[in-house]
Each structure stands twice: as C-alpha cells, then as structure tokens.
C-alpha cells in the first residue's frame, strides 16, 4: 500500500515539474508592415502568461487585453508555437523563454488585402505564474 502511495506521489511530482508558467513584461522590438516593410520600433503592451507543459501550451494576458485566437503547442520545455488560418489570413506566433530570464516573441500575420506584419520582441521574465 505504501509503495502505491509513494509511486503515485512521485508520478504527480514529476508531471507537475514538467509544467511551467512564466510572467512576461516589457516586450520591445521591431515591426514591419506591408507594403513598405520598413523596420520601426514597436512594443507589445501588457503582462503575458506563457504556459508550457509536455502536451499543451497556452498564452494569456493580465486583464485579458490580448487574445490571439491561436492554438498553441509546445516545441520544447521552453518554447511554443501558435498558429491559425482562416478566410481572413494566416497567423503564426512563437514564444521562447531563455535561461537568462528573457522572453523572445515573434509574430507573422498574412492578411487578405495586403495587411501583412512581421514583428519580433524581447521582454523580461519577471516571475512564475
């Protein structure tokens, strides 16, 4: 009986250890918009929660100021990709957490009517969720 209890506890501990959630702020970088695609300073305002575990990944924000509408999936314990495609266009985001407490965020939007965007940002990981 004790063996089953200990084994169950170890399994729960190892599963919980594989799930991570980070608080990300201060995202600054550059964006390019069609049709000129000239680089310009940009920032992603708000506080973001990047959550990655073995089988799923999610992105949320404080006060729900940002809802990408994308489906995210993990590519590693520290990175995820979000993507969606519809009649309006194609949307792709990547998020990565670095070992030096930085977050790297990229965004590509190809939208009907030539409203395209490429953005890249680096922000601060300020804690865990």
Copy the structure tokens of residue 118.
């490429």
19-128: CATH, from 2.60.40, 3.10.590, 2.30.30, 2.40.160: 2.40.160
Q: Is the pLDDT of residue 109 over 80?
A: yes
Is the bond leading into 65 cis (omega within 30 degrees of zero)? no
Task: Provide the pLDDT for residue 67.
Answer: 72
Calculate mean pLDDT across residues 104-120.
Answer: 93
Calculate mean pLDDT across residues 35-57.
Answer: 95
Task: Provide the pLDDT for residue 88.
Answer: 82
Torsion angles phi and psi, residue 66, rounded to 5: -135, 125
Beta-bridge partners for 66? none
Q: Is the pLDDT of residue 4 over 60?
A: no
SS3 4: helix
Task: Provide the pLDDT for residue 124.
Answer: 98
CB 19 within 8 A of CB 129: no
Closest listed residue to residue 105, CA positions, set 69, 68, 56: 68
> 122 or 66: which carries more pLDDT confidence?
122
Calculate mean pLDDT across residues 51-71.
Answer: 87
Q: Is the pLDDT of residue 104 over 90?
A: yes
CB 71 within 8 A of CB 42: no
Q: Is the pLDDT of residue 78 over 70?
A: yes
């Amino acid at each position: 009986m004790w063996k089953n209890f200990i084994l169950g506890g170890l399994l729960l501990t190892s599963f919980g250890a594989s799930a991570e959630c980070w608080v990300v702020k201060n995202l600054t970088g550059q964006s390019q918009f069609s049709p000129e695609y000239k680089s310009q300073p940009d920032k992603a305002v708000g506080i973001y929660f990047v959550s990655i575990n073995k089988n799923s990944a999610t992105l949320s924000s404080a006060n729900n100021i940002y809802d990408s509408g994308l489906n995210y999936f993990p590519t590693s314990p520290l990175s995820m990709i979000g993507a969606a495609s519809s009649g309006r266009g194609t949307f792709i985001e990547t998020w990565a957490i670095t070992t030096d407490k930085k977050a790297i965020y990229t965004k590509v939007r190809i939208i009907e009517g030539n409203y395209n965007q490429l953005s890249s940002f680096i922000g601060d990981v300020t804690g865990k969720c």
